Amino acid sequence: MIAAEPTEALYQLRGVERRYLKGAAQVLALSGVDLDIAKGEFITIEGPSGSGKSTLLQLVGALDTPSSGTVRFESQDLSRARDRALTDIRRKRLGFIFQQFNLVPTLSAADNVAIALDPGVPRRARAVRVAELLSAVGLAHRANHLPTGLSGGEQQRVAIARALANHPEVIIADEPTGNLDSQNAADVMALLVGLRRDTGVTLIVATHNEEVARHATRRIRLRDGAIVSDTHQDPPSVVAPLIPPAEEPLRS
């Protein structure tokens, strides 16, 4: 059984605060955050701009450490881990997706995926893995295109393939549909939901998109750096299928 009801704790946040200095003033971006995240959950982080969503994603993404409190990822306390350990976790266990796609403009879709692969993967295996990843996101036929030759939805699908390169256990996404029209947003969401169903990956997604949030198993709302609601829900079981990409027209 894959992606059944989550049971094992993956993250445990306790008394988490994150303060920033803004000039002479201190900004409390997160305060008093206690949160457990289980394996296989699909969590949306919602709330107005400035409520602390990105800050929270950076902490669970091992990109930042709290000013006080603890962030545990399984047995590891990320708040005390060395940079090297954090880098290792990011590279081997987490995958990231951003609103702006963050693809390298001078590299093809295939190379954008390839650069994310663990350097230890041998050359031949790399090509196979890249092809497999691009096919999984329906973009095998776009492998040699530069990002500028791809639509926004296709660019985000390349970014998803890149995020999946090293078989992450968690995908962390900051407004992944924020730059997409509703059809492409629906495709990206269907892809993420399908991935969770097929691989049991944990999804942690900051979003303003109600349609994305409707498919989550749990919705967390932030306001002024604090969790103001945390609701479990049964997502709809049927997700619109990813529209298969049109084949290149055959020459007659």
**Interface with ligand ADP by CB under 6 A: which residues?**
20, 22, 27, 29, 47, 49-55
* Sheet arrangement for strand 68-73: 25-38, 9-22, 68-73, 76-77
Nearest-approach distance from CB 207 to ligand ADP, in angstroms:
11
Rounded to whole angstroms, how far apart are CA atoms 69 and 92? 25
Toward ligand ADP, which CB reaches closer, 136 or 226?
Answer: 226
CB of residue 55 vs ligand ADP: minimum separation in angstroms?
Answer: 3
Residue whose token pair is 């932030």: 222
Nearer to ligand ADP, 79 or 108 (CB): 79
Question: Could you give the C-alpha distances from 141 to 12, 97, 112, 159, in angstroms and in order?
Answer: 41, 22, 15, 16
Nearest distance from residue 98's CB to ligand ADP, in Å? 12
CB of 97 vs ligand ADP, minimal distance in Å = 15
Least distance from ligand ADP to the Cβ atom of residue 22, Å: 5
Q: Tell me if residue 219 falls in helix, strand or coil.
A: strand
Please report how close the Cβ of residue 48 comes to ligand ADP at its closest, in angstroms: 7
- Residue 159 has a CB neighbour count (10 Å cut-off) of 27
The residue with tokens 């495709």 is: 187
Of 99, 117, 203, nearest in space to 162 by CA? 117
In this complex, which beta carbon is closest to ligand ADP, that of residue 56 or of residue 158? Answer: 56
Q: Which CB atom, from 54 or from 155, has the smaller least distance to ligand ADP?
A: 54
* Closer CB to ligand ADP, 20 or 34, in the complex: 20
| Sequential DSSP letters for 124-153 | HHHHHHHHHHHHHTT-GGGTT--GGGS-HH
Q: Which residue, 27 or 131, is less far from ligand ADP as judged by CB? A: 27
List beta partners, residue 21. Answer: 26
Token pair 């230890």 in the structure block, residue: 120
